[in-house]
Amino acid sequence: MDQLFTAILILHIVSGGTGLITGTINLIRRKGDKLHNQIGLVFTYAMISAGASAIVLSMMHPNYFLFIVGVFTLYMVSTGYRYIRLRLEGIDNGPKTLDWVLTGSMGIAGICFILFGGWQLYMKSNFGTVLLVFGAIGILMVRSDLNNYKGQAAERNYWLLAHLQRMTGAYIASLTAFLVVNMDRLPSFIPGILFWLLPTAVLTPMIIFWSRKYRQGVRL
């Protein structure tokens, strides 16, 4: 069992490292060209591998934080990729079974996070707040998916906005996990809370900027 855990851990580290490198490259360079798409494909598969391995590791050695990061990474990178694929498929670009499965799974996970978070708060555990926040975020993203899939999106190019937001969100989750896990190896004079908040604080304005740049405020 220890050898299996080590093998999956190595896969997780390699996948996560690849995702961070390719994600960083695509964040700082031109968007939408052929190289962006090629690097993005590597990022997608690396993050799917990192998310799936995180879930397995969290079950082998129970770790709520790792499980949550794994669930959100899988959901965000998968749906971010699927929004682009659905657009490129042309005429028949409505949601497929996979898309409903991804959204339904996140909906179930979000409800479970909220229920378990409430229980944790009842048991005087501050981690309950984290669960409630992530659960609420998950439910909001599921609601967005449902509106988009039912043709009720507020933006004409909702697929592009969702792609940008989900992929960057997956990158934020991965970077946050990397900083938190390696907190003891980073400069001790930096407050620990910064490792939790810095990726979100720095990259969320970028998501807002890109969303405004590419937004087309015309309802379908």
Question: Of 76, 95, 98, 77, which Cα lies nearest the Cα of 87?
Answer: 95
Q: Which percentage of the chain shows pLDDT scores above 70?
A: 90
Q: Residue 28 and residue 204: Cα distance in Å, rounded?
A: 15
Alpha-helical regions (H) of 123-214 = 127-149, 158-181, 192-214
pLDDT at 219 over 70: no
Whether 219 maps to a domain, the answer reads no
Asked if 43 and 19 touch (Cβ cutoff 8 Å), the reply is yes
* pTM, entire model: 0.86
**Plot region of 151 (φ>0 → left; ψ -120 to 50 → alpha; else → beta):** left
Q: Give the pLDDT of residue 14.
A: 94
Whether 137 maps to a domain, the answer reads yes
Q: Model confidence over 49-71: pLDDT tens digits?
A: 999 999 999 999 988 888 988 99
Per this entry, what is the length of the chain?
220
pLDDT at 89 over 70: no
Whether 220 maps to a domain, the answer reads no
Q: Residue 53 and residue 70: Cα distance in Å, rounded?
A: 8
| Tokens linked to 191 | 């407050």
pLDDT at 220 over 50: no
Q: Which residue has the higher pLDDT, 68 or 43?
A: 43
Can you say how many angstroms the Cα of residue 157 is from the centroid of all Cα atoms in its chain? 20
Total structural domains within the chain: 1
In sequence order, what DSSP letters do the residues of 86-135 get, joined into one string?
HHHTTTS-S--HHHHHHHHHHHHHHHHHHHHHHHHHHTT-THHHHHHHHH
pLDDT at 46 over 80: yes
Q: Give the pLDDT of residue 47.
A: 95
Range of the domain at 119: 2-214
